Structure 1
Amino acid sequence: MSHLETRQLQYFVVLAEELHFSRAAKRLCISQPPLSIAIKQLESTLDAQLFERNSRGVRLTHAGQHLLLQARDILERTRRAAMDTRAVAHGMAGSLRLGFVGSSMYRGLPQALELMRAQYPDVRVDLHELNSIDQIAALQSGKIDLGLMHTIAPPVGLIAQALVSEPFVACIPAGHPLAGEAKIAIAQLANERLILFSEAVSPDYFRVIRNMCQKAGFDPELRHEVRHWLSVLSLVGAGQGVSIVPACLQRAGMQGLAFKAIAEKTPSSVLQAMWQPLPAHPLIPILLGHLQAVVKKQLRATV
């Protein structure tokens, strides 16, 4: 035997709790011989003695104590997987592991999650804030079911759907000399210190914004490279530089900032969903439907 069986782990946990073969067999509604055989098979598979048996009874070895923690965790995850599968199959319940970039919070994600909770109160959405590259790795390894990320070409085996496309805007301190302008040309930022995402964290955003600056005739002076948009806004508000950010960040409500439209045409900032197509998680289209509805409402409100 080369693998662990759920039945063996169940028998092991009950015996570890009872520390008595007869009581454990009675609790499992089986006779004692099958229990003894299952435990011996489990010990053979693991090449480890799990119980010490003597005339006074049964007690766990150190190896058995270690396995008890692991076995309980395995059985609980197995139970939850079965429960979630049945619930999803019969009434839209279960769980969805969602990866997201920080800007999703200003692109309708909180409202979409609330709509989903109201419609399906038994659905659990587990949130994982990850940059775009880490989300792709998590999708490929099965650690998340759905990712909300910035524009990036989906690798083989994943499919993508664009959710939001919006312009970039200039973000400057409220007391900046350009704060009174209706629009700002990117060239007007040539002598400013630019606060930007780390290239390692978000190579797409880094490249797009740097290309905007180079097209305007200058290489940006990078003052800080950070990991989250709120950090960008905080540093700009503290007078540490300026930035070029997706327009949705105007909804962050931070004080001390001025957001200005960019005079020239620039690439769009795109938020997209990405997931494994097969087997498709049944909760994905439900959440995406709510998210698209919220985004449309937000766009109508800004027109």
Structure 2
Amino acid sequence: MRRRASRAWPGALAALRRAAAYLSGMPVDLRLMRYVIAVAEAGSFEAAAGRLHMTQPPLSRQIRDLERELGVALFHRRPTRLTEAGRVFVEEAREVLAGAEQAVERARNAAGAGRGAVRVGYTVTAAFDEMPKLFAAMRARHPGVRVEAREAWDAELTAAAMGGELDVLLGRHLDVPAAWPSAVLRSEEFMAVVGSGHRLAGRAEVSLRELRGETLRFFPRSYAPRYHDEVLAGVRGTGEEFEVWENPLPGLRNLAVSLSDGGFMVLPRSLCARLPGGIAFLPLLDRLPPIELRLSWAPDPSPAVTALIRTAHRLARRERWTAPPG
């Protein structure tokens, strides 16, 4: 396969070597590496600029300047996608950034900054994938920091944060105190979830139109008011309306029971592979707004909280959580 690629692009091998040489032997601007990675993950210059909190023209200009310095094109334009040299650059840049971040963390740990405690509250939707991975990453990189984790429904976590009981919140559509900064760690689409005996359970994909007449199963609104309202608004935005049944036995671990007699739910894609048996999940043909997982923290974070924030960002990049679907 590689030999065919070399014949198809005669200059590709030389371009790859120039990109690798830049990273290994020339002065490296970590900021530009992050820019290139952001464009590669977002799939467009405009989307990457929004993620980087800057406008698109200066981002495009700086990457063009980098390409001229390298003597290779990192991206195809219209549509935006990596060239072969760009793929090598991104792979090498990720390693360089990881090494730089690790050096910073080791220096901080040596100075005693890698100690202390972080009180983290996380929602039910983050309990299966993201929070376990974040906890493991903190133990690996900051063994001196004690993570005090608390799983609860959204309303309880919001009250705890307002009362000063938590330093960090992790969740989707979670109300946080107004002064708390936040960052998106993951963005993904919704899936339809039905019981394994449902008439559509064997389908490769489904539209909400095909679920007309069924009840939308949901947890009581009082448990997570904003999540409840945002998800229902997204469903209604497709033009479909459903009767909502508030489950007296809420919780993702009880889904097989909740859906055994019909109805459906909509859940983030990442949750579906971790759900109990007895259910089926189906990609939706409808374009619902993507759902974001956000990390939020109290102002003036301690060194331990800062370590968790940095670790969460690193984890999101490693897991490609913000990469576009497909």
Q: 1:136 — aligned with what?
A: 158
Contact 2:169-2:297 at 8 Å conserved across structures: yes
One-letter identity of the residue aligned with 1:210 = L
Q: CA deviation at 1:152?
A: 4.2
Give the match for residue 210 of structure 2. Answer: 188
Report the residue type matching 1:118 in the other structure. Answer: A
The aligned residue for residue 73 of structure 2 is none
Deviation at 1:181, TM superposition (A): 2.1
Measured after TM superposition, the shift of residue 204 of structure 1 is 2.1
Q: Secondary structure at the match of 2:197?
A: coil
> Who is 2:310 aligned against?
289
Indicate the percent of aligned positions where both proteins have the same amino acid: 23
1:148–1:235 CA distance, 2 compared to 1 (3 A): same
Q: Does 2:250 correspond to 1:217? A: no
Answer whether contact 2:134 2:311 (CA < 8 A) is retained.
yes
Contact 1:108 1:294 in 2 (8 A): no
Q: Distance in 2 between matches of 1:167 and 1:136?
A: 25
Distance 1:259 1:296, change over 3 A: farther
For 1:227 and 1:107, the matched residues in 2 are separated by 19
Contact 1:208 1:267 in 2 (8 A): no
- Indicate which of 208, 229, 248 corresponds to 2:230: 208
Q: In 2 relative to 1, CA 151–209 (structure 1 residues): closer, same or farther, beyond 3 Å?
A: closer
Indicate how the Cα distance of structure 1 residues 227 and 159 shifts in structure 2: closer, same or farther if over 3 A, else same: farther
Q: Is the 8 A contact 1:167 1:247 kept in 2?
A: yes
What's the counterpart of residue 270 of structure 2? 248
For the 8 Å contact 2:162–2:177, the answer to whether it is kept is: no
How many residue pairs get aligned? The number is 215
Measure how far apart 1:118 and its partner are. 2.1
Q: Which has the larger radius of gyration?
A: 1
CA offset at residue 145 of structure 1? 0.9
Which residue among 169, 173, 185 is the counterpart of 1:147? 169
1:163/1:272 contact within 8 Å kept = yes
- The CA deviation string for residues 200-226 of structure 1, in whole angstroms up to 9 with x for no partner, is 111222223323443433232415255
Q: Which residue of the partner structure matches residue 173 of structure 1?
A: 195
CA distance in 2, matches of 1:298, 1:189: 33
Q: Does 1:277 find its partner at 2:299? A: yes
- Give the residue type in structure 2 aligned to 1:192: E
Q: Structure 1 segments of 4 or more deviating over 6 A?
A: none
Q: Any unmatched runs of 5+ in structure 2?
A: 1-108
Check if 1:94 corresponds to 2:102: no
Superposition deviation, residue 254 in structure 1: 1.8
| Alignment of structure 1 residues 1-303 onto 2, 5 Å | 90-152=112-174, 154-215=176-237, 216-222=239-245, 224=247, 227-231=250-254, 233-236=255-258, 238-278=260-300, 280-299=301-320, 303=326
Structure 2 letter corresponding to 1:248: S
Tell me which residue corresponds to 1:34. Answer: none
User: Do the aligned partners of 1:196 and 1:225 also contact (CA within 8 Å) in 2?
Assistant: no
Alpha-carbon distance in 2 for matches of 1:121, 1:155: 29
8 Å contact kept, 1:171–1:244: yes
RMSD value over aligned CA atoms?
2.7
Distance 1:152 1:126, change over 3 A: closer
The two structures have a TM-score, normalised by structure 2, of: 0.59
Q: 1:119 to 1:213 in 2, by over 3 A?
A: closer
Q: Distance in 1 between matches of 2:266 and 2:206?
A: 11
Q: Structure 2 vs 1, CA of residues 88 and 281 (structure 1 numbering), >3 Å: closer, same or farther?
A: farther
Greater per-residue strand proportion: 1
Check the 8 A contact 2:216/2:242 in 1, yes or no: no
